[in-house]
Chain A
Amino acid sequence: DQQVKQNSPSLSVQEGRISILNCDYTNSMFDYFLWYKKYPAEGPTFLISISSIKDKNEDGRFTVFLNKSAKHLSLHIVPSQPGDSAVYFCAASVDSGYSTLTFGKGTMLLVSP
């Protein structure tokens, strides 16, 4: 039973345009959400997060939106750059005290010049 779903395995965008990566979740107990970025042959790196008490968090070119009623979050990258080409993982957590994360399957973003 997949609790965090990234239904798009891949996304292609032109440089300078907006990239929108989507994530849906089923567990209503999730209260913290994160995005990680992974380049080939490297471990994932933390990108941006959002608490369930907020609906938006922005960090430079990256913005995460949370729609709790729809159990949906999205990552917007504006403007997209070729260096953003990577696999993006959505992750979510229940406040259990253990800081464990449940990850989605990932979306491969390709930004072409």
Chain B
Amino acid sequence: DVKVTQSSRYLVKRTGEKVFLECVQDMDHENMFWYRQDPGLGLRLIYFSYDVKMKEKGDIPEGYSVSREKKERFSLILESASTNQTSMYLCASSERGNYGYTFGSGTRLTVV
């Protein structure tokens, strides 16, 4: 069964900490995405990558960075966590040119 795996289901971090959210896919997909989901706001694109070491900003990249050193792994980094980054973070992957994403189960991050 193909899947996208997010390393943590729940995380609690302190304000100012550097936070790493990890995502791994086993489908050899070229595209990987990070979205955050907030009540009343839907899913918003933070960053995406269309190839190893390639990254592009999405709609809300401020306060975040990403790393894609290997095709299967896409990491989201919160450089200095703030309370307004408390959210559900969803990783997804897709084949090049394909809009049918496979999503992970999400990481619920709470910044206190």
Chain A interfacial positions (CB closer than 8 Å to B):
6, 32, 34, 36, 41-46, 49, 89, 91, 93, 97-106
Number of contacts between A and B (CB, 8 Å)?
Answer: 60
From B4, B42, B45, B56, A43 is in contact (CB under 8 Å) with B4
Q: Answer whether A100 and B103 are a contact pair too, CB < 8 Å, given A43-B4, A43-B90, A43-B92.
A: no
Kindly state the separation between the CA atoms of A42 and B88 in the bound complex, as whole angstroms. Answer: 11
B44: A residues at CB distance < 8 A: 103
A92 to chain B, nearest CB (A): 9
B69 to chain A, nearest CB (A): 20
B101: A residues at CB distance < 8 A: 36, 44, 46, 101
A105: B residues at CB distance < 8 A: 40-42
B22 to chain A, nearest CB (A): 15
Kindly state the separation between the CA atoms of A102 and B44 in the bound complex, as whole angstroms. Answer: 7
Decide if A42 touches B31 in the complex (CB within 8 Å): no
Chain B interfacial positions (CB closer than 8 Å to A):
4, 31, 33, 35, 40-45, 48, 50, 56, 58-59, 90, 92, 94, 96-106
Decide if A41 touches B48 in the complex (CB within 8 Å): no
Decide if B103 touches A99 in the complex (CB within 8 Å): no
A-B contact pairs, 9 of them (CB 8 A): A42-B105, A43-B92, A44-B43, A46-B100, A98-B50, A99-B94, A99-B99, A101-B45, A103-B35
- Besides A43-B90, A45-B103, 7 other CB < 8 A contacts? A43-B4, A43-B105, A44-B90, A49-B100, A89-B43, A99-B97, A101-B101
A22 to chain B, nearest CB (A): 15
A99: B residues at CB distance < 8 A: 31, 50, 94, 96-99
B34 to chain A, nearest CB (A): 11
Name the residue of chain B whose CB is nearest to the CB of A6: B42
B94: A residues at CB distance < 8 A: 99
Decide if B99 touches A49 in the complex (CB within 8 Å): yes
Name the residue of chain B whose CB is nearest to the CB of A106: B42
A-B complex: 6 closest residue pairs judged by Cβ atoms: A43-B103, A105-B42, A103-B43, A46-B100, A103-B42, A44-B103
